[in-house]
Amino acid sequence: MKPTQRFIRLLLAALSWPAASVAFAQGLLVPQAPPAAPQDTLTRAATSVGIKRCLPAITRLSSLTVQGSRSHDVLLDWDRKRPDAGPVFSLIGMEFPNAGVAASITAIPDDSGACTVSAERISVAPFTCASVGQQELASYKMTRLLPNYAVYTDEKEPTSSVSLIDSPPGCLIIRRYVEYGWRDPAAVPGAAPATAAGQPPKKR
């Protein structure tokens, strides 16, 4: 699998968390096909301030992030002097039928024309972290950093992680993904077609 194809597949896996109890019921790591996304506020905001180089990555991430939400809005920080050459930081708040969810998306362009991107999606499940880990992350490697904080990783996705933090009576879930040197598949000559942005990952 080419790096660009792998990146799109991992973006889908990293950013397809449904909200709270719906997430656990449908499967934390293998979400079902999401409904149509609302208008993407982050892409619109980034475009309005002159961000172009990393806009394709921002659009892919943000459109996946807000899928299924009733509404969302964004807090955007960027380099006012060099909007298209500096880093972009965003915090997205989303309203789902049963819960609120937060996500952060960061994009940093480099001199080669590529972008370093990171995305985190933060939600709360109404279950203990132990039950989430046992039922949904059994095949992942668990590293306990604190008595109430465990990180789960999969060797197939070395730049992706799931953090579970006990927050009684629920569990704080942080899904994180980082990619260095990302390039828009549409701009790479001879690149294979990328997976459609709205298509969920296949079950393992």
- Among candidates 112, 80, 35, which has minimal Cα distance to 26? 35
**Which residues, at least 6 apart from 202, have a Cβ–Cβ distance to it below 8 Å?**
none
Tell me the C-alpha distance between 30 and 40, whole Å.
23
- The residue ranges of the chain whose pLDDT is under 50 are 1-33, 36-38, 191-204
Tell me the C-alpha distance between 204 and 29, whole Å.
10
pLDDT in tens, 120-138: 999 999 999 999 999 999 9
Tell me the C-alpha distance between 47 and 102, whole Å.
21
- Among candidates 69, 64, 54, which has minimal Cα distance to 10? 64
What per-residue confidence (pLDDT) applies to 39? 57
pTM of the model: 0.74
Residue 128's CB is within 10 A of a number of other CB atoms, namely: 15
